[in-house]
Amino acid sequence: MSGDRTLSAQDVVVVRGRGRLLLDRVSLTARPGEVLAILGPNGAGKSTLLHVLSGLITPDSGQVRLDGTPIRHMSPETLARRRALMLQSVHIAFPFRVHEIVALGRAPHGGGDGMRDGWIIDQALARFDIGHLAERDVTTLSGGERQRANLARALVQVWDAPTDAASRFLLLDEPTASLDPAHQLTALEAARRFAGEGGGVVAVLHDLRLARAYADRVALLRGGRIVGEILGAELDAGRAADLFDLPPARAPLFA
C-alpha cells in the first residue's frame, strides 16, 4: 500500500449504447475523514460515477485507485472489506428479518453471527434508529425503513478500521431518498460520524441544503463532466441556479 490514502477516479470515461457518453474524463478524489457530496441534475452521471468508484462498473478508459492501487488489481474480498456501496433501490423478495439483512454486511469479514459482529450490528441499528425493527420481516417495512436497513448494512461492512492503516469508504447513492426529514438528518449524521471515525464518505445527494450542511466538499457534475468542486459552505443559490438551470428568483428555495 502506498502513502496515498484516497479513493480516486482518474480520467474516467464510460460509454454505453450507441456511443452514449455517460462520463467524460472525470477525475475525482475522496479522502478519509470527510464527506464528499456529488450533485447534479438527473442524467448527469452521478450514480454511474459512484458505481465506477465502487468497482461495480469498469470504465471504458481511465481507472479508479484505492490507496494508490488500481481496484481492478484487488480481489473482490479485499475490495468488499474496504468499501461499501448502498444502491438507490434494493429489492428484497424474501422474508429476512432486519438484523439478518444488516448482518449481510459482515460477510466479507467472515462473520455475521459472532459476538463482535452482533455488537457492530446493534450499534448500526441504533445509529439509523431501527433497533426496534430488528426482528421485523423486512418485506413489511416502509420504504424509508428499508432504506435505513440498507444504510446500516453498508455501514457494518466497513465498520472495522484496517490494521494496516488502509482507508475505508462508504459510498451512498441518494441515502436520504424515501426518508422523512428527521431520518434524513439521522442518515447524514451517521455518515458524518463515520467520517469523524476515520472513514471516507461519497454521497450522491439531491437536497442542496443537506449537502451544504453535511458535506466538506461538493463535486458538481453535469453532462458527464465535473464542472466544479467547492466547499460545502460555498454551495449557494447562484451555484444552484447554474447547475440546475433554475431561474435566479427560485434558486434560493433550494440553497
CA angle 83/189/139 to nearest 5° reads: 70
What residues are paired with 218 via a beta bridge?
Answer: 37, 230
State the DSSP code for 199.
Answer: -
pLDDT of the residue at 241: 84
Domains, the chain, ranges and CATH?
A: 7-253 (3.40.50.300)
Q: Tell me the pLDDT tens digit for each residue of 13-38.
A: 999 988 889 999 999 999 999 999 99
Task: Specify which residues 28 forms β-bridges with.
Answer: 9
The DSSP element (H or E) to which 78 belongs, if any, is helix 76-82
Q: How many DSSP H helices and E strands does the chain contain? A: 8, 10
> What is the DSSP code (8-state) at residue 2?
-
The rounded percent of the chain whose pLDDT value lies above 70 is: 96
Q: Of 203, 141, 214, nearest to 177 (Cα)?
A: 203
- For residue 112, what pLDDT is reported? 65
Please identify every stretch of the chain with a pLDDT value under 50, giving residue numbers as ranges. Answer: 1
Q: How far is 82 from 49, CA to CA, in rounded Å?
A: 18
> How far is Cα 107 from Cα 245, in angstroms, rounded to an integer?
44
pLDDT in tens, 101-144: 999 999 999 876 788 999 999 999 999 999 999 999 999 999 99
DSSP 3-state percent helix, strand, coil across the chain (nearest 5) = 40, 25, 35
Give the pLDDT score at 2.
53
Q: How far apart are CA 245 and CA 214, in angstroms?
A: 23
Cβ count within 10 A of residue 42: 7
